[in-house]
Amino acid sequence: MLPPSQNGVYACENEQTLKTMLKGYYNFSGFVVSDWGACHSTVDAITHGMDIEMPNAKFLSAENIKEGLANKTLSMEQIDDSCHRILRSYFAVPKAMRVPGPCGGGDCIDKMVKGPEHIALARKLSAMSTVLLKNEGSLLPLSRTAMAGKKILLVGPGAVVPYTGGSGSGAVSNASAVSPLTALKALPGLDVSYHDGSSPAAAAAAAKAADLAIVFGSAATGEGHDRRNLKLDGNIDEVIPAVGEAQKDTVVVLSTPGSILTDWRAGVPAILYNGLPGEQVGPALADVLFGVTPPQAKLPITMPNKENEQGFSVSQYPGIDCYDGELPFPGHNHEHKKKMNGKCKCTNPACDVESTYTEGQIVGYRWYDKHKVQPAFAFGHGLSYGTHEISAVKVAGRTVSFKLSRTAGSGCETPQVYLGYPDAATDPKVPTKVLRFFKKSCDESEEMSYEVTDQDVSNWDVATKQWKVTKGTYKVYVCTSSQDCTGTGSLVV
């Protein structure tokens, strides 16, 4: 928590966070860069710890800095400090990678990260990052031999124009993306066709005539705007159940930047979630489908059962100002602000939103734990092409140990250790349990252990502005997801 004098200060002018904490407490030797358009001053920004303004020098221009030096609102010591931080970071980069370097000051992407080894790495990481949410009847992995000559139908625009990344800073160029249709057609012996899914009934008929259907769903978003709901784009939420009813062997592939509703999940045997899969999405998906790279990732989010399942109020999101009750909320964009001109409650002339955070720590998987609600798919969930067992859970002092064994099939598992604070059962503001350790293992059997640190059992003390160890008896949970815990214990701090 910031001291009162720092509340309401722009982040790029916040001495407490930039100088006292980042460059002071944490001895950060690099430089601080503003977000695009986040800088609002020259003297205050430099004085309080910002070093580079992006995307242009509106405030930190040579003219403004010279003026600050001339009228003594800035000192050469301050300018030297920023310059040293920037140059120190520059010289820490290998010489061959420095701009202008091999690209003459231009974009180095094609020359520096477009070689065969980079493409292979992108493919591998995309496959390894794919989460297997459901695999009823062990439909996956597919056998190349068994599928030879069989008809595979790909359904949905994502099969041809994959959703690989967001917009703005999270953008991935689709110009070099390899689509699932292209990648699967390139595999010898497969009979692969495509349906755009514009008509659920037509897609279902095509799926019935095939031996396997793969439906692609996405939910596009990007920097500067939010998704209006948790549904898939277009009509894919209608296509999936239609195809699933017509074809018993249906795989759904979800490419979304966050949580999505899966009301249709009971009607399909297999679901893959590849998040934002990058330009090698097609080959990576093929590797997962046929077991070349088995799925081994875990959900970093919770998939809910319904919209706003956690019951966020308008004051929590989207915020109490400039909101006229319109749903879905259009966002705090230029057009909406013009529409709400004169109606905003906030005193800021720009009418920026003010959100409250009364939910505290009870968000995400912690909300589901606290309210004893089973989500559609839990945080930390992710299947493999095998089964695993956790056994021999022991707690000795601060050491948590257990054994992970693969009991059938192949693949990897990532056990997770959660701690439950002493007052979790009685204090509604304290999470039931919090994640403190995880480790992936692809071995048939592995003994694992984790030493609980002071940081793991500390909380921020607002009065003294420091971390303090919370003493008492902690519950220990060893799990394969936040909702699937097979081993428990306790430790005393």
Question: What is the C-alpha separation between 200 and 207, in angstroms, rounded?
Answer: 10
The CATH number of 386-492 is which of 3.40.50.2300, 2.60.40.650, 2.60.40.10, 2.60.40.1120? Answer: 2.60.40.10
Which residues make Cβ contacts (< 8 Å) with residue 391, sequence separation at least 6? 402, 403, 405, 487
Are 222 and 163 within 8 A, CB to CB?
A: no
Are 235 and 197 within 8 A, CB to CB?
A: yes
Residue/partner pairs of 299-302 with CB below 8 Å, 24 or more apart? 299/131, 299/133, 299/273, 299/377, 299/378, 299/379, 299/380, 299/381, 299/382, 299/481, 300/379, 301/258, 301/259, 301/364, 301/379, 302/259, 302/364, 302/365, 302/368, 302/375, 302/377, 302/378, 302/379, 302/482
CATH fourth-level superfamily of 111-289: Glycoside hydrolase family 3 C-terminal domain (3.40.50.1700)
Longest CA span, the chain: 80
Q: Which amino acid is at 342?
A: G
Opening angle at CA 85, ends 81 and 89, nearest 5: 165
Are 385 and 360 within 8 A, CB to CB?
A: no
Alpha helices in 199-325 (DSSP H): 200-208, 236-246, 281-289
Question: What is the C-alpha separation between 245 and 250, in angstroms, rounded?
Answer: 9
In the prediction, which pLDDT does 167 show?
81
Question: What is the C-alpha separation between 95 and 157, in angstroms, rounded?
Answer: 44
Range(s) for CATH 2.60.40.10 in the chain? 386-492
Range(s) for CATH 3.40.50.1700 in the chain? 111-289
In the prediction, which pLDDT does 7 show?
66
Which residues make Cβ contacts (< 8 Å) with residue 355, sequence separation at least 6? 315, 316, 317, 318, 319, 320
In the prediction, which pLDDT does 105 show?
53
In the prediction, which pLDDT does 466 show?
86
CA-based nearest residue to 290, from 164, 393, 140: 140
Question: What is the C-alpha separation between 32 and 18, in angstroms, rounded?
Answer: 8
In the prediction, which pLDDT does 332 show?
47
Walking along the chain (493 residues) 10 residues at a time, the average pLDDT comes out as: 65 94 94 94 97 95 97 97 94 77 58 82 97 98 96 98 86 85 97 98 98 97 83 98 98 96 98 96 98 97 96 75 50 50 49 72 96 98 97 96 96 97 94 97 97 95 89 97 92 95
Distance set, CA 223 to CA 68, 170, 220, 300, 320 (Å): 34, 7, 11, 20, 22
- What's the whole-model pTM score? 0.86
Question: What is the C-alpha separation between 112 and 108, in angstroms, rounded?
Answer: 6
> Is the previous residue joined to 422 through a cis bond, with omega within 30 degrees of 0?
no
Are 417 and 437 within 8 A, CB to CB?
A: yes
